[in-house]
Amino acid sequence: MTQPFELYDLRVTVVAIEGRPVCGLQVGDYFELTESCRLRIPPDKHFCVYALSSVLPLLAAKQRQLAAGDWLERDSLVACPDPDERLIMKIERIARRTLDSDELT
């Protein structure tokens, strides 16, 4: 039986580098998470795997509409784990789409 549900597509953007920029990212670099599970990085760009690892645990929750009082509904900034770099990323919802749970695992 088809079970439609809604998820947000997300964009994670580097908004600040407060320390030494050692991973090659720059303010404005980003990746997108679309269609539930597709990670998209612009052509000829990269995204640091350590910065990515710090934001990954939050993405599934940010894809969903959360209760108004939930801290993750309000907060959107994430720090890279490298203390010398102090790279800050922002998670933004860029689109809302309806998906079919029978088409996903």
| Structural domain contains residue 8 | no
| Domains: count for the chain | 1
Domain range holding 34?
14-97
Supply the pTM of this predicted model. Answer: 0.91
For residues 70 and 99, give the distance between their C-alpha atoms in angstroms, rounded to a whole number. Answer: 24
Please answer whether residues 16 and 89 qualify as being in contact, where contact means their C-beta atoms are separated by less than 8 angstroms: no
Helix, strand, coil share (%) of the chain residues, nearest 5: 20, 35, 45
Residue 29 belongs to some domain of the structure: yes
User: How sure is the predictor about 42, in pLDDT bands with cuts at 50, 70 and 90?
Assistant: very high
**Domain assignment of residue 3, yes or no:** no
Q: Position of tokens 């920029």?
A: 21
Tell me if 7 is assigned to some domain.
Answer: no
* CA gap 92, 79 in Å, rounded: 15
pLDDT(21) > 90: no
Among residues 28, 6, 17, 7, which one has the least CA distance to residue 80? 17
Give pLDDT tens digits for 58-74.
999 999 988 888 888 88
Rounded Cα distance between 8 and 81, Å, is 25
For residue 9, tell me if it sits in a domain.
no
In a domain, 80, yes or no: yes
Is residue 6 included in any domain, yes or no?
no
Q: In this structure, is residue 86 part of a structural domain?
A: yes
